[in-house]
Amino acid sequence: MTVSLWRLDSIDTTLLLTAEGESDVPSIVWFGDRLPDIDDKVLDAVTAMTDLPLPMAKLDESIALSLFPQRSTGMDCTPALRGHFDGNFFDHRVRRIKARGDGLNLCIELRDEAARLEVVLMLSLHQATGVLSFTTTLTNHANDDYTVDWLASATMPLPGSYRECLHLHGRWGLEFQAHRSAIAPGSLTLQSHRGRTSHERYPGLMIGECGFNENSGDVMAANLAWSGSHASSVELMSDGRMCYQSGVSLDPGELRLAAGETFTAPNCYFKRQTVGGLNAVSQQMHHYMRHEVLPSWTRTERPVHANSWEALYFNHDIETLKLLIDAAAEVGAERFILDDGWFPARRSDNAGLGDWTVDGSVYPEGLYPVVEHVRSHGMQFGLWFEPEMVNPDSELYRSHPDWALHLQSHETPLARNQLVLNIDMPEVFDYLYQHIAALVEEYKIDYIKWDHNRDLILAGDGKRSVMHRQTMACYRLMQKLGENYQKLEIESCSSGGARADWGVLRHTGRVWTSDSIDAIDRVKIQRGYSYFNPPEIMGAHVGHAKAHLTGREINIHTRAIVALQGQYGYEIDARKLDAEEKQILSEYVSLYKNNRGWLSGSTTWRLDSAVDCLTCGGLVSDDKKSSWWFAVAEASLAQTVPGTMVLYGLDKETDYRVRIASRNLEELQKFSKKIPAWVIDGITARGAFLMTVGLVLPVMPAQSALLIEVKSV
């Protein structure tokens, strides 16, 4: 039988697919390092790989693990499509109609002629990074409505050597915690039914061979670009084959396709590095994201933020705000964000959401006095919104209670005293756009902090779930604002990092990774976030000495050094800083401003540490001339000294000047009889030396941090 063959090639990656016969659904033979050109011998080998063994107690034909597995063929794994026509055609048999590609893109058309369903698989390999984009589109050509229970964005076979997964779990205030799970017989399933990405489960996985770490091992990243309910699984079948699958998690009866209607699943992205471990995969994902996902404004220098929330909460007062703005400017802020509390009845979180006008009792002249005071310091002005939400105690809800998501037979539970608006309703969408746009125009707003502070429960229009449509409507609202106000920047905040995926980041370009700005908690939060996302889009702020969320007291140097790992800013009442604290923060903000040009395109290196509670990593400029390296002792170390830090990503032949850039040497000397000479005086060393022998670190007490600057001579 004739074997069809398709091949996509990037600079470093090959995707090779085959299908036996003209109608079979293609299967992936290889996804990884670029293969040599295919000759007759290679083609014979590929053909041989389609001749699968047939074990006992199975069907009388061997079944390939295709890009679109189907239960009707006898495939053991989760099918890519589950659905029905009111109970009829409960299973499907799609066949390949045609496939066409151009070396980087492949479109595969499948058809179930009996059910009159069409499936289109789109695969695109990015030339510069080898990141594979995969999505699936389903069209109903039948006369009756088709109910979709599940449509996978992608099904990806996994190498037989893979044995572990790294995934990100968490909770409010402690997101993006890395956790490892063994791949065992059956299925490892990670899912969220919360209507947003969730604090608990980020929709991405790192999958690899046993023992993979930051700098070694064969690893594949899989990342679903979706901001609503989602599900991902890694499945090990009884014959030893494995596959990854992900997609939108749908409520019962939520998605019904009428005649001629189409549903496109969100993109799923893959990157495999057979050597180099997690860092190698992350670096390519970051590069792809910067150039193919994020809004263009993220490529400009990222300004220093100052946010009013932890300084004032709901206690808005114009004169107090002016003093806070003055103090923020004094420590180098370039953008001031007025957080929650500026609209009517908003003296607590009990009321006001949905009434997007300025509270005249607090701001009798509107926001003009505040905005003008911000701009008098040369700062940009930002404003907090929570557009998708409504308080029952609001004029909007009293006028339009039917605008909230609900199910008629049940009372919707409140969260943070609020409900969720059905923004897929045209009148709700228009109401929100008009009110937000009016404020953007009136005050020439530069930036919106877009919050989303609760899960979606009973997310219906009264009768049926609209969970998926809610997420799509949010994208449309953000997109319309971005298109009509192209200089407007939007941050995605969802009670911290509960909506931080690649789907929302096509429209936002900045993430508030956690409501906890406790610097010690932030170390692991920011490290976990870096597995899929570059540092310059991560909001990272200096908080108060006593962290508001945890009560932990942390010194000013550690707070600043941890904040320098992302887009630097302040979540602090700068009015209460003494002269020494202002001086210290001014020095750190100068460090950020002097280096942010290269930081915005830097290469992330997470370092493996043999010492518990010691977290190390670095950011290296694209030209390898500049880098920052961080070491944080999150708690008391089990050994008296932290050991040696070996650097990565430098040029072997270049000489570098190495110095401690943090301002805390005097503090560290209190805990040590002797500080290594290079720590005090700096050192010049060849890149090869720094990447083999490394740097001996000084004694680091609990909750201390170091910032090491390495620049070419």
User: Any idea what DSSP says for residue 465?
Assistant: B
- pLDDT for the residue 72: 85
d(CA 382, CA 385): 10
User: What confidence tens digit (pLDDT) does each residue in 339-373 have?
Assistant: 999 999 999 999 999 999 999 999 999 999 999 99
- Give, in order, the Cα–Cα distances in Å from 88 to each of 85, 144, 146, 147: 5, 11, 9, 10
Same domain, 484 and 508: yes
* Catalytic residue selected from 251, 451, 501, 521: 451
Of 580, 597, 614, the position where a domain reaches its end is 597
Q: CATH code at 673?
A: 2.60.40.1180
Same domain, 133 and 189: yes
Q: How many CA within 13 A on the CB side of residue 447?
A: 26
Same domain, 538 and 484: yes
The single residue listed with the structure tokens 């370009």 is 509
* 623 part of the active site: no
Same domain, 541 and 665: no
59: pLDDT strictly greater than 90: no
Q: How confident is the model at residue 38 (pLDDT cuts 50, 70, 90)?
A: confident
Which has more pLDDT, 663 or 287?
A: 287
| Coarse DSSP helix, strand, coil percentages of the chain, rounded to the nearest 5 percent | 25, 35, 45
Same domain, 516 and 442: yes
Element (H, E) at 239: none
Same domain, 160 and 104: yes
Reading phi first (left if > 0) and then psi (alpha if -120 to 50, else beta), residue 254 is in alpha
User: Any idea what DSSP says for residue 251?
Assistant: P
Same domain, 518 and 609: no
User: Any idea what DSSP says for residue 504?
Assistant: G
- Give, in order, the Cα–Cα distances in Å from 349 to each of 253, 314, 353, 356, 644: 34, 8, 8, 14, 49
Q: Which residues contact 51 (CB under 8 A, 6 or more apart)?
A: none
| Residue 56 is assigned to a structural domain of this protein | no
| Residue 13 is assigned to a structural domain of this protein | no
Same domain, 271 and 312: no
| Residue 33 is assigned to a structural domain of this protein | no
Q: How confident is the model at residue 557 (pLDDT cuts 50, 70, 90)?
A: very high
- Give, in order, the Cα–Cα distances in Å from 199 to each of 153, 215, 562: 22, 27, 21
Residue-wise DSSP of 373-409: HHHHTT-EEEEEE-TTEE-SBSHHHHH-GGGB-EETT
Nearest to 658 by CA among 641, 676, 681: 681
Q: Which residues contact 485 (CB under 8 A, 6 or more apart)?
A: 437, 440
Nearest to 473 by CA among 415, 430, 418, 414: 430
419: pLDDT strictly greater than 80: yes
Q: How confident is the model at residue 45 (pLDDT cuts 50, 70, 90)?
A: low
- pLDDT for the residue 39: 67
* 451 part of the active site: yes
| Residue 588 is assigned to a structural domain of this protein | yes
pLDDT exceeding 90 applies to what percent of the chain? 90
d(CA 583, CA 541): 17
Same domain, 129 and 196: yes
- pLDDT for the residue 60: 59
| Residue 565 is assigned to a structural domain of this protein | yes
| Residue 103 is assigned to a structural domain of this protein | yes
Q: How confident is the model at residue 44 (pLDDT cuts 50, 70, 90)?
A: low
Side chain identity at residue 198, one-letter code: S
Q: How confident is the model at residue 493 (pLDDT cuts 50, 70, 90)?
A: very high
Q: How confident is the model at residue 477 (pLDDT cuts 50, 70, 90)?
A: very high
- pLDDT for the residue 665: 87
- Residue 612 belongs to what domain range? 605-712
Q: How confident is the model at residue 176 (pLDDT cuts 50, 70, 90)?
A: very high
Please state the domain count of the chain: 3
Q: How far does the chain reach from its first CA to its final CA, in angstroms?
A: 63
Question: From the CA atom positions of the chain, what is the Rg in Å?
Answer: 27
User: What confidence tens digit (pLDDT) does each residue in 368-407 have?
Assistant: 999 999 999 999 999 999 999 999 999 999 999 999 999 9
Q: Which residues contact 361 (CB under 8 A, 6 or more apart)?
A: 344
Same domain, 532 and 559: yes
Helices assigned H by DSSP within 277-415:
277-288, 309-312, 318-330, 368-376, 395-399
Note whether 249 and 78 are within 8 A (CB).
Answer: no
- pLDDT for the residue 289: 98
Same domain, 569 and 708: no
Nearest to 11 by CA among 43, 33, 41, 27: 33
Q: CATH code at 152?
A: 2.70.98.60
| Residue 244 is assigned to a structural domain of this protein | yes
314: pLDDT strictly greater than 90: yes
Q: Residue range 6-12: average pLDDT?
A: 96
**Helix 556-563 vs helix 579-599: angle between axes, to the nearest 10 degrees?**
20
Of 225, 260, 293, the position where a domain reaches its end is 293
Q: CATH code at 535?
A: 3.20.20.70
The single residue listed with the structure tokens 């908003």 is 346
User: What confidence tens digit (pLDDT) does each residue in 83-115 have?
Assistant: 999 998 888 899 999 999 999 999 999 999 999
Q: Residue range 530-552: average pLDDT?
A: 97
Nearest to 13 by CA among 291, 277, 273: 273
50: pLDDT strictly greater than 80: no
User: What confidence tens digit (pLDDT) does each residue in 577-587 have?
Assistant: 999 999 999 99
Same domain, 545 and 612: no
SS3 483: helix
* Catalytic residue selected from 501, 515, 518, 521: 515
How many CB atoms are located within 10 Å of the residue 165 CB? 21
Mean pLDDT, the chain, integer: 95
Q: Residue range 308-320: average pLDDT?
A: 96
Q: Which two tokens stand for residue 309?
A: 């929330």
d(CA 282, CA 278): 6
| Residue 31 is assigned to a structural domain of this protein | no
Q: Which residues contact 259 (CB under 8 A, 6 or more apart)?
A: 140, 141, 142, 143, 144, 145
Q: Which residues contact 513 (CB under 8 A, 6 or more apart)?
A: 175, 176, 496, 497, 500, 522, 525, 526, 529, 538, 539, 540, 566
d(CA 496, CA 513): 5
51: pLDDT strictly greater than 70: no
19 forms beta bridges with 4
Of 262, 293, 324, the position where a domain reaches its end is 293
